Amino acid sequence: MPTYDYVCENCGNNFEEFQSITAEPLTDCPKCFGKVKRLIGSGNGFLFKGSGFYITDYRSDSYKKDKSKAEGTASSKTKAKTANKNKVKKKAKTVA
């Protein structure tokens, strides 16, 4: 719910009110019951809590599983290429 700032035109009281977007603006000051005016505010920014704020922190479990499988496949391909290179080097040494 958004927070709205109000100021009383009678007593100068500044206050905030949590209201629904669809709620009607307040008209009476809670202290002197004078006429209030809603101020234009910048609103609230984001409040980050917890560890890490990366796009991958909020991925679905199925995406994470698929991604880890793809990385596992890629790493096994890299291992296979390295093993093949080592075999070729050994053959080259034995032939020479």
d(CA 21, CA 4): 10
Q: Break the chain into its structural domains and give their ranges.
A: 3-38, 55-95
Element (H, E) at 82: helix 61-95
Tens of pLDDT, residues 47-67: 666 666 666 666 677 777 776
- In this structure, what is the dihedral angle of CA atoms 62, 63, 67, 73, given to the nearest 10 degrees? 40
pLDDT averaged over every residue in the chain: 75
Q: Is the pTM of this model over 0.75?
A: no
